[in-house]
Amino acid sequence: MSDLFRVEGLVKSFGGLAVSNNITLAMKPGERLALIGPNGAGKTTFVNLVTGLLKPDAGRVHLGSEDVTQLGSVRRVRKGLVRTFQVTRLFQEMTPEEHVTLAILQREGKATAILARFLGNPTVSDEVEDVLTVLGLSEVARRPVSEIAYGQQRLLEIAIALALKPNVLLLDEPAAGVPSADTPRIEQALARLPEDLSVLMIEHDMDLVFRFARRVVVLAAGEIIFEGLPSAVAADARVREAYLGSYADARRVA
Amino acid sequence: MQTILSVATDAFAYGMVLFIISIGLSMTMGLMRVVNLAHGAFAMIGGYIASYVARDLGWGYAPAIVLAVAGTILLCAPLERFLYRRIYGKPELLQVLLTIGITFCVIGITNYFFGPTLKTIPLPSVLAQPVDIGFRTLAGHRIFVIACGIAVAAALWFLIERTAFGIKLRATVDNAAMTDALGVRTPTIYAVAFSIAVGLAAFGGVIGAEFLPVEPYYALRYMVLFLVVVTVGGAGSILGTVVACLALGAIDTVGRYLMPEFGNFFFYAAVIAIVSAFPRGFFGRAQ
Amino acid sequence: MTQSAPLPATVAASFGKRHPLRDLAGFAAIILAGAAGYFLFPDNLALLTRIIAVALLVLSLDLVTGYCGVASLGQATMFGAGAYAAGFACVHGGVTEPLTLVLVGAIAGAAAGLVMGAIMLRAHGLAQLVLSIAIVQLGHEAANKFSSYTGGSDGLAGLSVSPLFGVFEFDLWGRTAYLFGLVLLVVVFALLRFVVSSPFGVLCRGIRQDPVRVKAMGASVFPVMLKMFVISGAVAGVGGALAAISTQVVGLDSISFELSANALVMLVLGGLGSLYGALIGAVIFMGFEHTVSAYNPFHWLTMVGALLVAVVLVAPGGLASLLDKVPGLGRREGGKP
């Protein structure tokens, strides 16, 4: 009823191979959901279907009360469905300050203004400062992205997403490629995400998943094989089979 | 009927000339990923050598072709070794600049040595005469060009699809680092492929001199044409290049015949329409 | 910023927008150089005016290539559109007021930019480059064929422009034309500095660096780039109109592949994406061209060619670092959607 985000019966196949087989999933405001699954489970396809980069063969995607299945990815972002990328996609020559400023201006519909200064609007720069401070990026706010550490770049991905004030945030492996020493900073940032924001996280790092998520969905071969509390995942027979069947490394799940 | 047939033959032969020259460019752009704007200059060098051998030295057409192809490959080998090798995998704009630079140099130097006049390559009497094909007569040179085009297409197809070199070349294209690790000498592969491309340019430049006259600005004037062919055909595709050459050759020839006063107007309009409709070319691989 | 108040000046400098002083110095340099040209080369004012017109063309190319990452070998289409539009308005339309003619040129250039952008932005990479060439060739052929209006290869002659503000005659020595051009250049340059440091300009830089990221921010790419093409067209159109007014003739060369290719060479020699590079490239290239081609045009070609090769090879770091800023042109990065 009060679902903020809902997909129903999403089907997508590539040349006869079903990579998304009748996926149905709903999220309420403020939810923390983790989507896990072995390699090739169809997680990336799911993200692409949800964000609108791929069109489903069947099924619907709803944001709030609106059916956005036919909308392109840009329109979905404007409706409040924002994602981060598994491999950072940032403007190498720009600074974090500029990234976040651009995101805020875009959110306010002012990013294409010609008759305005880019920096120098006090309300905007206050907000930029807030966002960067929350994510611990103020020290590197004015360095080009190419000069800052990868962990900080990952944080900047989250900062940009937050600056867009999303309703639903899709985090695509937020800790991927981050040195383990920096993972706590990411985790800290995730813990501070706004309460009412619905977050769907895709992640391989199970420690992170268990600490972050209050609900876990396991995807295997394009299907949801488990949905429930994090504590129940490891005990589930189908999950064990999905992982152990294709993976020798049982500890990734346990 | 005779006119239609001769226009069709002209269009076909012209398309084959475009093919022989452009397929080399298609190789460098599709397989080696170099935007080589100096390709027209290679064809032009071939034309100059052939003209010198056949007209100034009077040694005849066949030696002119052989010497032109061999000479151009020899002249251009150092270019590959010292210049092109540094721009493999570099940004396209960098490649465009370097190869435009080479083109400018070739134009300037050629003119310094040979002067700004048009260079002819006298045809042997066999090719200069019309040939009776039973019910009609056709220009011998046109038939020769068409035969050459078909032979080049077949030979290239065989080389790339059926020989060990072709396998190595395709593997290098797909993943140069991996192929290198497997013990294939990728620099050699590139050098050989480059030489083949240069040789084809020179060959096309010589036998196509009737259609694309040899003069110093040849390198720039027709380069656009070759680029268009490769784009329309899809870089790296033999079949695509054949189709593109025949289509563009037909459009150009028929356009000139029907509306000579409009020159290339309809040709470029067609190019815009085709490239807009097929931005990756007729048979281009996805980027 | 909370903890980062004392930032080193070098770190804070990324677009120069925090440096109004640097912009002021830039303007001063342009005006000084312009004044120096006026007094040092009083016999070559026609050439200097030509340089200004071409500099406007190169500036316009910098907008699409340097800021948006779209390589074009057909930029002269917009320059030619501006030149011929001003020429038509003057010869066939009886408009003789110079500022009106410049406005006509700007509008025609903007319209050409709209069409060109709409066609080119549908494609990428090589196809885009070839489309740009085909468009300028098509324009060239059209200008050649409709010779009853354009004068064909003889050029559209007989522009008689009335005095600027009704006071300053376009004199035989080209003083008025030169000063008029210089003022136009400074005004356009100031406007463009404003445009590129606006949110729109920064968004364009973002598109050049990673269009996927821009889309993930909820911004559409195509309309933004198209807008830049229109602005670029207006600038090139002003250049074309200036060329028409100052020489009183519009030749086929104003809408040619050669002029487009030269503009790209000038831009890259001078440096992409700063607007200053466009001016420097135009002045150096055309200055040398004038000097060397006086002896032999083919020596000039050899020299430019050698220079290009040398720049690519000897300064790969410097030039490549500039060129790396244009990912849309080059490095096919793994196509993650």
Mean pLDDT per block of 10 residues along chain B (287 residues) reads 77 90 88 86 93 86 90 90 83 84 90 84 79 72 88 89 85 78 81 91 90 86 86 82 88 82 80 84 56
Residue among C130, C301, C323 minimizing CB distance to B93:
C323
* Contact residues on chain B for C301, CB-CB shorter than 8 A: 104-105, 107-108, 111
- Closest to B93 (Cα-Cα) out of C207, C322, C133: C322
- Closest to C234 (Cα-Cα) out of C192, C296, C269: C192
The 10s digit of each residue's pLDDT in C102-136 is 999 999 999 999 999 999 998 887 888 889 999 99
How far apart CA A164 and CA C217 sit, in angstroms, is 7
C37: its two tokens: 């040209």
C335: its two tokens: 């196509």
* Contact residues on chain C for B91, CB-CB shorter than 8 A: 320, 323-324, 326-327, 329-331
3-state secondary structure at position A165: coil
Any idea which residue has 């329409």 for tokens? B273
Predicted local distance difference test score (pLDDT) of residue B128: 75
Give yes or no for residue C318 having a pLDDT over 90.
no
The 10s digit of each residue's pLDDT in A75-109 is 999 988 999 888 889 898 888 999 999 999 888 88
Average pLDDT over residues C235-245: 94
- Closest to B284 (Cα-Cα) out of B212, B219, B235: B235
Q: Does B285 map to a domain?
A: no
Contact C309 B276 (CB under 8 A): no
Give yes or no for residue C55 having a pLDDT over 90.
yes
Q: Which residues are within 8 A (CB) of B239 and not within 5 positions of it... i.e. 6 or more apart?
A: B283
The 10s digit of each residue's pLDDT in C31-44 is 888 888 888 888 88
**Interface ipTM:** 0.85
Q: Does B284 map to a domain?
A: no
Distances in Å between the alpha carbon of B273 and those of B106, B268, C73, C77, C123? Answer: 33, 9, 18, 17, 12
Confidence band, pLDDT 50/70/90 cuts, at residue C86: very high
Contact A144 C14 (CB under 8 A): yes
Predicted local distance difference test score (pLDDT) of residue C243: 92
Q: What's the sign of the alpha-carbon dihedral C238, B276, B239, B27?
A: positive
Domain range for B100: 2-277
Contact B109 C302 (CB under 8 A): yes
Residue among B96, B108, B111 minimizing CB distance to C305:
B108
In eight-state DSSP terms, residue B29 is: I
Total domains in the fold of chain B? 1
Which CATH code for domain A5-252?
Answer: 3.40.50.300
Looking at this protein, which amino acid is placed at residue B106? Answer: V
Q: Say if C8 is an interface residue toward chain A (CB within 8 Å).
A: no
Give yes or no for residue C335 having a pLDDT over 80.
no
Searching chain A, which residue's CA lies closest to the CA of residue C206?
Answer: A91
C155: its two tokens: 């050029």
Searching chain B, which residue's CA lies closest to the CA of residue C324?
Answer: B91
Q: Does B287 map to a domain?
A: no
What percentage of chain C reaches a pLDDT higher than 90? Answer: 31
Q: What's the sign of the alpha-carbon dihedral B62, B67, B70, B73?
A: negative
Domain ranges of chain C: 19-323
Bridge partners of A219, per DSSP, are A224
Q: How close C33 gets to chain B, by Cα (Å)? A: 28
Predicted local distance difference test score (pLDDT) of residue B27: 86
- φ, ψ at A218 (rounded to 5°): -110, 130
pTM: 0.85
Sort strands B137-139 and B130-132 into parallel, antiparallel or unpaired. antiparallel
Contact A74 C336 (CB under 8 A): no
Q: Does B12 map to a domain?
A: yes
How far apart CA C280 and CA C267 sit, in angstroms, is 8
C81: its two tokens: 């559109």
* Contact residues on chain A for C66, CB-CB shorter than 8 A: none
Residue among B83, B112, B275 minimizing CB distance to C298:
B112
Contact C305 B269 (CB under 8 A): no
The 10s digit of each residue's pLDDT in A219-239 is 888 888 888 888 888 777 777
Searching chain C, which residue's CA lies closest to the CA of residue A48?
Answer: C337
Give yes or no for residue C297 having a pLDDT over 80.
no
Contact B275 C130 (CB under 8 A): yes
* Contact residues on chain C for A143, CB-CB shorter than 8 A: 11
Residue among C137, C299, C303 minimizing CB distance to B264:
C137
Q: Which residues are within 8 A (CB) of B238 and not within 5 positions of it... i.e. 6 or more apart?
A: B23, B26, B153, B156, B157, B160
What is the H or E stretch that residue B142 is in? helix B140-162
B48 close to B228: Cβ distance less than 8 angstroms: no
CATH 1.10.3470 fits C19-323, yes or no: yes
Give yes or no for residue A244 having a pLDDT over 80.
no
From chain C residues 44-73, the ones with a CB under 8 A of any chain B CB are 71
Residue among C4, C194, C210 minimizing CB distance to A141:
C4
How far apart CA C56 and CA C286 sit, in angstroms, is 13
Contact A102 C199 (CB under 8 A): yes
Searching chain A, which residue's CA lies closest to the CA of residue C12?
Answer: A142
Distances in Å between the alpha carbon of A30 and those of A27, A169, A191, C326? Answer: 8, 10, 12, 40
Contact B268 C324 (CB under 8 A): no
From chain B residues 46-105, the ones with a CB under 8 A of any chain C CB are 83, 86-87, 89-94, 96-98, 100-105
Burial C164-198 (b: 16+ CB within 10 A, else e): beeeeebeeebbbbbbbbbebbeebbeebbbbbbb
- Closest to C133 (Cα-Cα) out of C54, C72, C64, C63: C72
How far apart CA B100 and CA B97 sit, in angstroms, is 5
Contact C200 A111 (CB under 8 A): yes
Q: How close A52 gets to chain C, by Cα (Å)? A: 11
Q: Say if C326 is an interface residue toward chain B (CB within 8 Å).
A: yes
Q: How close A90 gets to chain C, by Cα (Å)? A: 7
Searching chain C, which residue's CA lies closest to the CA of residue B270?
Answer: C134
* Contact residues on chain C for A91, CB-CB shorter than 8 A: 205-206, 209-210, 213
Which of these ranges, A64-68, B122-126, C53-57, has the smallest mean pLDDT? B122-126
Searching chain A, which residue's CA lies closest to the CA of residue C336?
Answer: A87
Mean pLDDT, chain C, whole residue set: 81
Looking at this protein, which amino acid is placed at residue B161? Answer: E
Q: Say if B160 is an interface residue toward chain C (CB within 8 Å).
A: no
Q: How close A111 gets to chain C, by Cα (Å)? A: 5
Q: Say if C11 is an interface residue toward chain A (CB within 8 Å).
A: yes
Q: Say if C210 is an interface residue toward chain A (CB within 8 Å).
A: yes
Q: Say if C10 is an interface residue toward chain A (CB within 8 Å).
A: no
Average pLDDT over residues C277-304: 83
Q: Which residues are within 8 A (CB) of A43 and not within 5 positions of it... i.e. 6 or more apart?
A: A35, A36, A37, A202, A219
Q: What's the sign of the alpha-carbon dihedral B55, B60, B61, B67?
A: negative
Bridge partners of A63, per DSSP, are A5, A66
Residue among B98, B103, B275 minimizing CB distance to C123:
B275
From chain B residues 10-39, the ones with a CB under 8 A of any chain C CB are 29, 33, 35
* Contact residues on chain B for C311, CB-CB shorter than 8 A: 97
B72 close to B199: Cβ distance less than 8 angstroms: yes
Sort strands A17-27 and A5-14 into parallel, antiparallel or unpaired. antiparallel
Predicted local distance difference test score (pLDDT) of residue C16: 38
Residue among B91, B105, B279 minimizing CB distance to C324:
B91
Searching chain C, which residue's CA lies closest to the CA of residue B266?
Answer: C138
Sort strands A81-83 and A168-172 into parallel, antiparallel or unpaired. parallel
Average pLDDT over residues C184-189: 93
Q: Is chain A in touch with chain C: ≥3 Cβ pairs within 8 A?
A: yes
Neighbours of chain C (3+ CB pairs under 8 A): A, B
Q: Say if C314 is an interface residue toward chain B (CB within 8 Å).
A: no
Predicted local distance difference test score (pLDDT) of residue B283: 65
Looking at this protein, which amino acid is placed at residue B179? Answer: T
Predicted local distance difference test score (pLDDT) of residue C19: 59
How far apart CA B103 and CA B161 sit, in angstroms, is 32
More confident residue, A244 or B216: B216
Contact C215 A74 (CB under 8 A): yes
